[in-house]
Amino acid sequence: MPLQIIRNDITKVKADAIVNSANTKPIYGSGTDESIYRAAGASELLAERKKIGPIAPGAVAVTPAFALKAKYIIHTVGPVWIDGMHGEFDILRSCYTGALEAAQELKCESIAFPLIATGADDFPREQALRIAMDAIGAFLMRDGVEMAVKLVVYDQAAFRLSRDIFYQVESFINDAQVLEAHRRAYGTETDPEKRGYRRRYREVTGTLRRHPDFFRKDPDDEDTFDEDTFDRQRFTNDGSEGFAFRNHLIKLLQEKGIDNHIAYKRSNVSRKVFSKILCGETLIPQKKTVLGFCIGLRLTIEESQALLACADMAFNPYNKRDRLVIQCILHEQYDVRVVNEMLYACGQPLLGTEN
């Protein structure tokens, strides 16, 4: 854990295993397949691949990674899209599950996937994305599985949700219900000039004016304070205050009867980060981690506000990420993978993705 969605060239991603959307025959084609061969060293990798021979659709095979920033390349053959009635969905799911199981057998701690079969094989991107997220998510929820998974897309457009879903998301996070819920909870003005949101953080830290580098340069930005970057521990006189978050989190886990490993996996938080919080090494986590817990622990708005308050944070209804999370909670959408898909489609930071 966790699952990350990143925009990059997969040949430049550092992971124990890199997944290649391969050809059935021991040759390499175009797109991701060609990029991986050239980056790894085409002649060496091709010679190794010829030793394996043909690979059936949905099956996997492993070779060394040669010049890549990885230990292994896991080759898997995606389905050629016909009409969805020829086993394409099952084959694609087998590609992801098989690659993950192979990585686990190789004791890999991290693995990077392209969006398999969406290039020359013409698998519809939205459906391919759904299968990828479901297969990876189901694998990560297995007992004993601790692996960092990266889904690598080459550009933002390649990951866009369908037009209808994207417009639903835009409407979803601009709903006036969010502002009204915030007004009821905090009794604050909805006018950003009157609400005093930034002033609250000055009161918490007492030092923000002396640290302008923690503010974004654009004065018209929705949320001028970057809570994921700001390190509150640098400005905490009494470190014991930070245990309020840990203690509240433990209380929530006990009240809801959620085991630790279920809690951090549902929240898309790594075991390492979760352990540091419980052990008191991390007094106040980043906001994306706290929001991940709000979704993963299936908290109500009131419970979420209380958890955020223990970390000296609050929902900002003028920040797109916070608006979307608020609406997901109001609509009881507690699948962190779905929430992160929406966030990525909107160009927002994902929840819980700390290593």
In this predicted structure, the answer to whether residue 8 has a pLDDT above a threshold of 80 is yes
In this predicted structure, the answer to whether residue 259 has a pLDDT above a threshold of 70 is yes
Distances (CA, A) of 78 to 58, 90, 180, 206: 6, 10, 47, 55
| Averaged pLDDT for residues 334-354 | 87
Do the Cβ atoms of 114 and 21 come closer than 8 Å?
yes
Please give the angle made by the CA atoms of 111, 114 and 115, to the nearest 5 degrees: 130
pLDDT of the residue at 111 = 98
Q: Which residues contact 138 (CB under 8 A, 6 or more apart)?
A: none
Catalytic residue, chosen from 16, 33, 121, 312, is 33
**pLDDT tens column, 131-152:** 999 999 999 999 899 999 999 9
DSSP characters over 58-103: T-EEEEE-TTSSSSEEEEE-PPPPSSS-SSHHHHHHHHHHHHHHHH
> How far from each other are the two terminal CA atoms of the chain, in whole angstroms?
8
Write down the mean pLDDT value for the chain: 82
Residue 182 to residue 189: CA distance in whole angstroms? 9
User: Bigger pLDDT: 101 or 228?
Assistant: 101
- Residue 70 — very low, low, confident or very high, per pLDDT cuts 50/70/90? very high
pLDDT of the residue at 216 = 35
- Residue 108 — very low, low, confident or very high, per pLDDT cuts 50/70/90? very high
Q: Which residues contact 246 (CB under 8 A, 6 or more apart)?
A: 277, 278, 280, 283
DSSP 118: S
DSSP 318: T
In this predicted structure, the answer to whether residue 229 has a pLDDT above a threshold of 80 is no
**pLDDT tens column, 284-297:** 899 999 999 999 99
Residue with tokens 């509150």: 232
Residue 43 to residue 108: CA distance in whole angstroms? 25
In this predicted structure, the answer to whether residue 350 has a pLDDT above a threshold of 80 is yes
Question: Domain 3-159, what architecture?
Answer: 3-Layer(aba) Sandwich (3.40)
User: Helix, strand, coil: what percent of the chain each, to 5?
Assistant: 50, 10, 40
Give the residue from 294, 295, 331 showing the smallest Cα distance to 313: 294
Residue with tokens 């106040």: 284
pLDDT of the residue at 194 = 41
Instruction: Kindly state the tokens that stand for 128.
Output: 């391919």
The CB-based long-range contact list for 182-187 (8 Å cut-off, 24+ gap) reads 182/315, 182/317, 182/326, 185/301, 185/302, 185/305, 186/314
Locate all alpha helices (DSSP H) within the chain, ordered by sequence.
31-40, 42-52, 88-105, 125-140, 163-173, 176-186, 197-205, 243-256, 260-266, 271-279, 287-296, 301-310, 320-330, 336-345
Could you give the residue range(s) of every CATH 3.40.220.10 domain in the chain? 3-159
For the ranges 36-50, 276-290, 322-336, the maximum mean pLDDT occurs at 36-50
Residue 345 to residue 322: CA distance in whole angstroms? 15
Residue 271 to residue 282: CA distance in whole angstroms? 13
Instruction: Kindly state the tokens that stand for 234.
Output: 């640098």
**Sign (positive or negative) of CA dihedral 109, 115, 121, 123:** positive
Residue 262: alpha-carbon gap to chain centroid: 16
Residue 322 annotated in active site? no
Residue 196 to residue 181: CA distance in whole angstroms? 17
